[in-house]
Structure formats: structure tokens, C-alpha cells
Amino acid sequence: MFLTGQLFSRPWDEPEDSSVVKKDSKFYNSSGTIQNAWNNPNRACMKVKTFYHNKEKDFRDTTYKDDDIQKMDDDEKDQLRRVRHLKLHTS
């Protein structure tokens, strides 16, 4: 409180400055695109590379995307349908 009895302005009451970049989840996680130094493996130190970038790369290399899983599922259903069709017509 000031000597005049007025309260300090609260942070949520102050107008936001447009030049300030909020470092939230959107800033640090750019969903696979390199938008800042944190997500750039070429600019990261070895400790961050080992802990974050290498594990993320391994995860992306070993994990299928939803579209790939759907395509594999469709291919498997198509193959089973062909096998069933061949069995019906050869017997």
C-alpha cells in the first residue's frame, strides 16, 4: 500500500504489453516445428540434447502416427477380406 492508502495495481488488472512474449506451453512446445531455441537440437547443449531431443527423436521414430495406424488397419481388413473371398470361391 502506498502512503496515500491506494493499493498497488494487481498484475491481472494491468494492461498486457504486446512486446512481452509469454513463455507458456505454446512457446516451449511447437509441435514438431522449430520455432525457438528450445526446440532446435542444433542450438541445444549436450545435456538438453541427451535428455530431451534424443528421446523425442527416438519416440517419433518408433511410434506410429494416427494416420499410419488407420492405414495399416484398413490394409489388414482389406487383406482379410481378399483371403475370405478367395477361400469362398476356391472351395
The pLDDT tens digits along the chain (91 residues) read 456 666 777 767 777 777 777 777 666 665 555 566 666 777 777 887 787 777 888 888 888 888 889 999 999 999 999 999 999 888 6
Beta carbons of 86 and 78 less than 8 angstroms apart? no
**Global confidence as pTM:** 0.39
Domain range summary for the chain, segments of one domain joined by +: 41-90
Phi-psi region of 85 (alpha: psi -120 to 50; beta: other; left: phi over 0): alpha
Q: Provide CB contacts within 8 A for 21, sequence distance 6+.
A: 27
